[in-house]
């Protein structure tokens, strides 16, 4: 299976969570329950704020440093498989 096929397969089963911190989740790749490994990423919310800050008012850019607006991606710590995501938001 190529990387593109794996990515399409993951997108079919994309699971959204409400957790911003690490939590216990089942990994379908290694077939174990594990404590997720968390990584903060710039998502749609952060990119929108970045563009608005460049166009309208530069101090808004400070929001891009806040972890609350970043997407939180949860991975399996054993095999590094992407498990779930918590999209960032202002509220």
Which whole number is the average pLDDT over 12-21?
77
Q: Does the structure show a pLDDT above 70 at 30?
A: yes
CA separation for the pair 20, 88 (Å, rounded)? 9
Residue with tokens 């095999």: 79
The whole model's pTM is what?
Answer: 0.68
Q: How many domains does the chain have?
A: 1
Domain that holds residue 26: 3-86
pLDDT value at residue 15: 80
Would you say 36 and 20 are in contact if contact means Cβ atoms under 8 Å apart?
Answer: no
pLDDT value at residue 18: 83
pLDDT value at residue 70: 80
Domain for residue 82, yes or no? yes
pLDDT digits (tens, 9 = 90+) for 34-79: 999 998 887 777 777 777 777 777 666 666 566 777 888 899 999 9
Domain for residue 91, yes or no? no
Higher pLDDT residue, 88 or 1?
88
């Amino acid at each position: 299976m190529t990387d593109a096929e794996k990515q399409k397969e993951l997108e079919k089963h994309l699971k959204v969570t409400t957790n911003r911190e690490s939590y216990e989740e089942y990994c379908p790749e290694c077939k174990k329950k594990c404590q997720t490994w968390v990584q903060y990423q710039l998502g749609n919310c952060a990119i929108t704020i970045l563009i608005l800050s460049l166009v309208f008012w530069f101090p808004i850019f400070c929001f891009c440093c806040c972890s609350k607006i970043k997407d939180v991606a949860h991975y399996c710590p054993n095999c590094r498989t992407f498990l779930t995501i918590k999209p960032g938001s202002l509220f």
